[in-house]
Amino acid sequence: MNKKSSTILILDDQQVNKMAECLPKICESMCGFKQYRCKEEEGKFRLNTTGSCRGARLYLDKQYISLSLVDLQYLSWMFHVFQNQLNAYILSLPDVMAYTTTAYISVNFIEPPPNANKHFLYPQLFEELKTIL
């Protein structure tokens, strides 16, 4: 990714899914020196090749980062990991909220229910809750 830029773009879950959909297509287009444009309906998220098709830009609102083909290929290979992690966190949210409500008022660690989502570290959450009291 562009080493000169310090811009950070934070994607929401719909934008993560759109990015996962667009990454293989933009890599293929860039390898064939073809233009590519991808954007969500609201227009906040855009991913497109630059004029020479040797680079790309990822826009979120008016901010952007520049990406090379190598950057995009790396992201394409890794993005399924990001997408799976995000989905695991979204699925665990109701369990985490229920646990937080109970554990926040407790002095001692409370075991999560047996049916609680296993993708979350409840002992670490409990310790974090105790530090904000």
For 9, residues 6+ apart whose C-beta sits below 8 A from its C-beta are: 58, 60, 63, 64, 65
List, for residues 97-121, the tens digit of each pLDDT value: 999 988 888 889 999 989 888 878 8
Sign (positive or negative) of CA dihedral 27, 28, 29, 33: positive
Please report whether residue 73 resides in a domain.
Answer: yes
Average pLDDT over residues 35-54: 87
Is residue 2 over pLDDT 50? no
Band the pLDDT of 4: cuts 50, 70, 90: low
Please report whether residue 55 resides in a domain.
Answer: yes
Range of the domain at 123: 13-131
Please report whether residue 23 resides in a domain.
Answer: yes
Residues 49, 35 contacting (CB under 8 angstroms): yes
Sign (positive or negative) of CA dihedral 72, 73, 76, 77: negative
The neighbouring-strand residues paired with 64 are 59
Please report whether residue 2 resides in a domain.
Answer: no
Q: What is the pTM of this model?
A: 0.69
Band the pLDDT of 133: cuts 50, 70, 90: low
List, for residues 58-83, the tens digit of each pLDDT value: 999 889 999 999 999 999 999 888 88
Please report whether residue 29 resides in a domain.
Answer: yes
